[in-house]
């Protein structure tokens, strides 16, 4: 009986994105809601020019927890939103990050 190695797609389903990968989405996409960051990380576009990893089983709660931790570290900030409950995020400017260190 032979066993096959799991494919990269199967391995991606078990892993979670790093803080840097989450932060990169916020930096590239600008102001965005938590659910949007999750969707970008969990869907593979038809024309994937970025060749980014995909995390199909990613939950919004995990992304929110990581964004809150990054907020405490001064990497992202909550910005105003027309929605009462949803959180909108923006990456801090490099000059602001340097001033906090």
**pLDDT given for residue 1 in this prediction:** 52
Question: Using CA atoms, how far apart are residues 94 and 80, in angstroms rounded to an integer?
Answer: 20
73 secondary structure, DSSP code = T
Q: Map out the domains of the chain as residue ranges.
A: 16-100
**pLDDT given for residue 12 in this prediction:** 46
Q: What angle do CA 98, 25, 99 make, to 5 degrees?
A: 10
**pLDDT given for residue 13 in this prediction:** 47
**pLDDT given for residue 15 in this prediction:** 85
Q: Does the pLDDT value for residue 9 go beyond 80? A: no
Indicate the fold that domain 16-100 takes in CATH.
Arc Repressor Mutant, subunit A (1.10.10)
Longest C-alpha distance within the chain, in Å?
Answer: 60
pTM above 0.85, yes or no: no
**pLDDT given for residue 47 in this prediction:** 66
**Rounded to whole angstroms, what are the CA distances from 56 to 16, 40, 43, 49, 60?**
10, 10, 7, 18, 12
Sheet holding 88-91, edge to edge: 32-33, 88-91, 76-79
Quick: pLDDT tens for 31-63: 999 999 999 999 877 666 666 678 888 999 999
């Amino acid at each position: 009986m032979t066993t096959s190695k799991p494919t990269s797609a199967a391995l991606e389903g078990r892993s979670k994105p790093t803080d840097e990968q989450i932060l990169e989405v916020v930096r590239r996409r600008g102001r965005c809601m938590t659910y949007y960051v999750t969707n970008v990380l969990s869907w593979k576009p038809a024309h994937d020019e970025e060749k980014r990893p995909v995390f199909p089983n990613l939950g919004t709660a995990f992304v929110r927890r990581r964004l809150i931790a990054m907020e405490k570290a001064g990497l992202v900030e909550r910005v105003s939103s027309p929605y009462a409950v949803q959180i909108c995020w923006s990456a801090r400017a490099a000059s602001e990050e340097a001033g906090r260190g």
